[in-house]
Amino acid sequence: MSSVAQPTKKHEGQSGAAKSYQGACFCGAVQFTVTGEPAAMGYCHCESCRTWSAGPVNAFTLWKPEAVRITRGADQIGMFAKTPRSYRKWCKSCGGHLFTDHPHWNLIDVYAAVIPDFPYQAAVHVNYQETKLHIHDGKPKLKDLPKEMGGSGVAIAE
């Protein structure tokens, strides 16, 4: 309520201020930002991703919940949970997919496709034993998931 201009306080760590990236659904009714760096990025080849997205692979970016902020259309977000491990979210206006909450990891998968300005860099392919689309990019192909995420951590051939 003060008319006095607040000095801009920047909390710059060694890597500088955390960057934010804009995201939106297919129609734009839902808008959001992600801030900082994701915990992980890659491609998921599992059957659940495939059948829900109707696409052969899912390009994922995993973020701490506090890094994801809905800025518009929160009431337009629909949700479906086939299992308590994945709360899949989409825009009720256009049907465009947005996120999958993974409460057991305390991470949110923000689909790389809905944050077009984010410099997406896949590090790994997961659930590759279920693949329907072999991708020869030289990146590691895990049979299921990394050990620290409850998988075997075993790598398989491209």
| Cβ distance to Zn ion smaller for residue 46 or 67 | 46
Using the minimum distance from each CB to Zn ion, give the nearer residue, 36 or 120.
120
| String of DSSP letters for the chain | ---SPPPPP---BTTBSPPEEEEE-SSSSSEEEEES--SEEEEE--HHHHHHHTSS-EEEEEE-GGGEEEEE-GGGEEEEEEETTEEEEEETTT--EEEEEETTTTEEEEEGGG-TTS-----EEESGGG-SS---SSS-BBSS--GGGTS---B---
Q: How far is the CB of 64 from Zn ion (least distance, A)?
A: 19
Q: Which CB, 37 or 149, lies closer to Zn ion? A: 149
Shortest distance (Å) from residue 16 CB to Zn ion = 33
Closer by beta carbon to Zn ion, 9 or else 132: 132
Which parts of this chain interact with Zn ion (CB under 5 A)? 25, 27, 29, 44, 46, 49, 91, 93-94, 96
> Least separation, in Å, of the C-beta of 97 and Zn ion?
10
Could you tell me the smallest distance in angstroms from the CB atom of residue 107 to Zn ion?
13
